[in-house]
Amino acid sequence: MRKIAVLYSGHAPHFVTFNTPKYKQYFDKIIYLPHFAEQDLMGMDVVIVPSQLHNKLLLEAAPAIRRFADNGGVVVAFGPQPWNWIPGQNWETRPTNFWWWLEKDADSGLRMVAPDYPLFRDGYLDEAACTWHQHGVFHLQDGMQSLIDMKDGGSLMYVDKVSSKGTWIVTTLDPDFHFGSYFMPATEKFLDGFLPWLACGEI
């Protein structure tokens, strides 16, 4: 089982998510971001960078997070990432339609493009568990693998094994925020599958 650290900056929804027992069991460390030091990641296999962190604190921690990946670690980044700190990052902010499912012939625009990737192939997640709303997309560089696209272009989730010796799993989806805000049931399904995969599945 991989050792997982998650960053935390005092945001109430994150407190709920990271301390809910069925999820907390997967975290070996919950690291309070204002007190972050590079040695906090020693001995960890994975670090999760949640959505909606304080931008100044995130950017201060970013060099250490990149070094963690350069040394073979797995970095997971959730949610909108308007600050340029991820290797090869090419983020496009898009307007968010929170109520698309109320429209006639509703279509979220989400398209699963890598059904054979272990996260999906091995039954951890399906398309429904990844479907709520989007805040933007990433435009990928050569060698990065998109797992979920938007029908009008851009990636909602991708895996990058070319920018470092480690692995970056990056998504515009923000299940950490919505589960802890008691808003969007699909986000619970996402975390129910994603965290066990991150701990034990084939990455």
Tens-place pLDDT, residues 38-93? 999 999 999 999 999 999 999 999 999 999 999 999 999 999 888 899 999 999 88
Strands 4-8, 29-32: pairing kind: parallel
Which one is predicted more confidently, 166 or 151?
Answer: 166
The pTM (predicted TM-score) of the whole model is: 0.94
Looking at residue 98, its pLDDT comes to 64
Looking at residue 93, its pLDDT comes to 83
Looking at residue 85, its pLDDT comes to 96
pLDDT at 127 over 80: yes
pLDDT at 104 over 80: no
Looking at residue 74, its pLDDT comes to 98
Computed over every residue of the chain, the mean pLDDT equals 92
Looking at residue 184, its pLDDT comes to 83
| Burial of 168 from C-beta contacts in 10 A (0-12 / 13-18 / 19+) | buried
Looking at residue 132, its pLDDT comes to 85
Please enumerate in sequence order all residues whose Cβ is within 8 A of that of 158, keeping only pairs 6 or more positions apart, or say none: 138, 140, 144, 145, 146, 147, 169, 170, 171
